[in-house]
Amino acid sequence: MKNVAIRITSLRHRCGAATIRGMSDVHSEELLAQVAALPALPGVYRYFDAQDALLYVGKALNLKRRVSSYFQKNHGGTRIGHMVSKIVRMETTVVRSEAEALLLENNLIKTLNPKFNILFRDDKSYPYLKITGSPGALGSAPGQVFPRMAYYRGSVDKKHRYFGPYPSAWAVKESIQLLQKVFRLRTCEDTVFANRTRPCLLYQIKRCTGPCVNLISPEAYAADVLHAEALLRGETQEVLQAMEARMMAHSEKLEFEQAAEVRNQIQALSRVLHQQAIETADDKDVDILAVRVQGGRACVNLAMVRGGRHLGDRPYFPVHVEDAAAVYAEEGGESAEGVPARPVRPVEALVLEAFIAQHYIGVPVPPLLVTNVPVDKALLDALTEQTGMRVNAIHQPREQRRAWLDMAQKNADLQLARLLAEEGSQQARTRALAEALDLPPEDLDQLTIECFDISHTAGESTQASCVVFHHHKMQSSEYRRYKIEGITGGDDYAAMRQVLTRRYSKVVEAAREAGGIDFAAPPPADTDHTQGAVKPKGVARLPDLVLIDGGKGQVSVAREVFTSLGLDLTRIVGVEKGEGRKVGLEELVFADGREKVYLGKDSAALMLVAQIRDEAHRFAITGMRAARAKVRVGGGQLEEIAGIGPKKRARLLQRFGGVRGVAAASVEDIATVEGISRELAEEIYRALR
């Protein structure tokens, strides 16, 4: 924030606490004194609970007035009252303006994941279309003389040219195909390009001009690159006019072959413009945002127009919508002294503004946003200040913009309906499993299941997986893989014993350090198990259910481990394959002596068990294959030896057939490999033995 933020923490001035009236008796004198000492300046405040978990991040034009209002009012049993009752600590940051406060607020929300704020999580970064090299740069590298087009995902730099972001990988690849049809730019890697002796298939099908074998001059290729970039920027008419002028120039010089080539390009571009329905209006870069709220869930559908082309859309689903909306509604609008407070905004507006503020922190913002609800001017001013470019928003568009917005609204409706249907189905499955296994039905959102699976190939590269399910969905950020060592290859029982011991002995140890937590008890009511949330410190607890992919043998191993650790055996359930290993005939095996249970192939509970079991199997398989591939291509052991690069490693593996063959070879044999000295051979011999 340009070094203007002043952090105010640990204020202990008690003299002003008496001036704040009506504050709750549940808060400490230190906290009340800190509130009393706050300045009447714009800033951002953060509330923490007793476990130091972040509850809420808010902004204020006047920190003293806004923060004091939380403690002066009696909020009763509302959500904001529930939040205020938990506050034990506060941090504040003073800034220069409301715009800076808004940007800082959403930076903190996105990075710290407070429980009572609307939060959007980016599932992945956006893809770009990259053209290698930069204009005016000198160099003889293929990527500079003959730039290539490529799909790219990651951070951008100044060494290359990037166009986007695009909403999906498909949109990037479709754009690359468009440019291949018209300008025939290369897409091959530089290493392939530098070693070609004849043109590839793309040249034969007229998707490349063959720069790898000098079938086009650098000057002509550079002109095609410039035209491609202009088309990506939406300068369609300018490109056509330039190409027509280039064609006429060739014709006047009697260069009819070159003129025919440019004519063919113009025809290809005209066909593409017609087929792709590229707009030639003034709108080059626009984001269309439609928000829908229903059933406590919300969807923001983002559609992108880049270079005049509608590239597709992507839905976003925020969390904490109900809690955050209730807090915003309770606290109401804020204004400067003597000015009436702004009316409370509808939930749709709050959700949309939260998305805009958080999404464009790390993504370039276009000059125009088309929305289905009005956007606060302060937010647009903050984006303008952040980007240095004027950002505008309209919510009652006409003509083409209206068509774009209608399409985005329809997609938001469809995506939200799909989400609600899927969540309803998943919740029904969770409820069915809880009923089938007599699990407590009070809070199914907190029902936590962990599932284990073992995978290997003939005893090689044994891996164990642990996947986690709670809040009615798989929690991929909590998955774990375990490399199994010190056992006989192919001994699944020993592998299961090792992974369960490693997993739950730490839980037992943590519980003892925390003063002996009751493993059979449910988690504390304020424990937040949402993905990415900050869990209260000192809380150690087992999952409600431990699924083992296997029958009586694997369950017996789990029983031994849990008995040795003093854990509850009723949590262990094995998933035994049915007759003929057919899907839908699985039976559940219990470690506490209960009879096996067959749920029925149409059972919603069995569907959930199968879903979790299959995910554990998939996760274990991918880990095992990665480990096996690493070993077979020379893996970790050879890579860790100083002086062994890719070429020497490849020669060693080719000569001896793999790492095991290298390990079994003598120093003399290793030294016969090209590029391997006697000293290096001795080093390899010692490292592998």
20 shares its domain with 164: no
Q: Give the pLDDT mean for 444-461.
A: 83
Residue 427 lies in a domain: no
CATH number assigned to the domain comprising residue 95: 3.40.1440.10
Closest CA to 620 of 433, 495, 470, 435: 495
Give the CATH number for residue 411: 3.30.420
Query: What is the DSSP annotation of 235-264?
Result: -HHHHHHHHHHHHHHHHHTT-HHHHHHHHH
Token pair for residue 653?
A: 């593996």
Q: What is the pLDDT of residue 144?
A: 75
Q: Who wins on pLDDT, 516 or 17? A: 516
Q: Are residues 81 and 212 in the same domain?
A: no
142 and 290 together in one domain: no
Q: Are residues 517 and 611 in the same domain?
A: yes
- Domain boundary (50, 79, 112) is at 112
Tokens of 183: 């300008």
Specify the number of domains making up the chain: 5
* 592 lies in the same domain as 644: no
Which range among 99-103, 301-305, 435-439, 456-460 has the greatest average pLDDT?
A: 301-305
Residue 270 lies in a domain: no
* β partners of residue 353: none
For residue 33, give both structure tokens: 């004194």
Which candidate, 20, 41, 22, places its Cα nearest to that of 32?
Answer: 20
Identify whether residues 557 and 482 lie together within a single domain. yes
Higher-pLDDT residue of 530, 411: 411
Residue 271: enclosing H or E segment and its boundaries?
helix 256-276
- Do both 187 and 82 map to the same domain? no
553-575 pLDDT, tens per residue?
899 999 999 999 888 888 899 98
Which range of residues forms the domain containing residue 502?
444-623
Give the pLDDT band of residue 136 (cuts 50, 70, 90): low
Lowest mean pLDDT: which of 68-72, 290-294, 455-459?
455-459
pLDDT the model gives residue 527? 39
- CA-nearest of 391, 200, 201, 372 to 289 is 372
Pull the structure tokens for residue 499: 């992974």
The tens digit of pLDDT for each residue in 606-662 reads 889 989 999 998 888 887 676 655 555 444 567 667 778 777 877 887 777 677 778
Close Cβ partners of 216 (under 8 Å, ≥ 6 residues apart)? 209, 210
Contact 210, 203 (CB under 8 A): yes
In a domain, 423, yes or no: no
On whether the CB atoms of residues 320 and 117 are closer than 8 A, the answer is yes
Burial label, 499 (beta-carbon count in 10 A; 0-12, 13-18, 19+): buried
| 3-state secondary structure (DSSP) of residue 23 | coil
Would you say 360 and 383 are in contact if contact means Cβ atoms under 8 Å apart? yes
The rounded distance, in Å, linking the Cα atoms of 145 and 521 is 68
Residue 329: pLDDT band (50, 70, 90) is low
- Indicate whether 268 belongs to any domain: no
Q: What is the 3 state secondary structure string of 359-415?
A: HCCCCCCCCEEEECCCCCHHHHHHHHHHHCCCCEEECCCCHHHHHHHHHHHHHHHHH
Residue 420 predicted with pLDDT over 70: yes
429 within a domain of the structure (yes/no)? no
Q: Which DSSP category does 214 fall into?
A: T
Are both 675 and 540 inside the same structural domain?
Answer: no
My answer on whether 392 and 471 are in the same domain is no
pLDDT for the residue numbered 626: 66
CATH number of the domain residue 530 falls in: 3.30.420.340
**Which pLDDT value is given to residue 362?**
73
Is the predicted pLDDT of residue 262 greater than 80, yes or no?
no
The model's pLDDT over 169-208, given as tens digits with 9 standing for 90+, comes to 888 888 888 888 888 899 988 888 888 888 888 988 888 9
Residue of higher predicted confidence among 124 and 308: 308
Give the pLDDT confidence score for residue 577 in this predicted structure.
Answer: 81
CA dist., res. 426 & res. 306, Å (int): 37
Indicate if 604 and 501 belong to the same structural domain.
yes
The mean pLDDT of the chain is: 79
Comparing 234-243, 457-466, 526-535, the range with the smallest average pLDDT is 526-535
For 337-344, what is the mean pLDDT?
52
> Are residues 412 and 467 located together in one domain of the fold?
no
Is residue 482 included in any domain, yes or no? yes
Residues in the chain, total: 689
141's tokens: 């590298």
Q: Can you give the three-state secondary structure of 194-218, one letter per residue?
A: HCCCCCCHHHHCCCCCCHHHCCCCH
- Give the Cα separation of 446 and 529 in Å (integer): 7
Distance CA 545, CA 567 (A): 12
* Over residues 389-393, mean pLDDT: 89
Local confidence band at 501 (pLDDT 50, 70, 90 cut-offs) = very high
Choose between 329 and 298: higher pLDDT.
298
pLDDT band (50, 70, 90) for residue 18: very low
The torsion angle over the Cα atoms of residues 433, 435, 440 and 443, rounded to 10 degrees, is: 60
CATH code: domain of residue 653: 1.10.150.20
In a domain, 681, yes or no: yes
User: How many other C-beta atoms can be found within 10 angstroms of the C-beta atom of residue 280?
Assistant: 12
Q: Residue-wise over 299-310: b if at least 16 C-beta within 10 A, else e?
A: bbbbbbbbbbbb
pLDDT at 252 over 90: no
Say which residue, 119 or 518, is predicted with more confidence.
Answer: 119
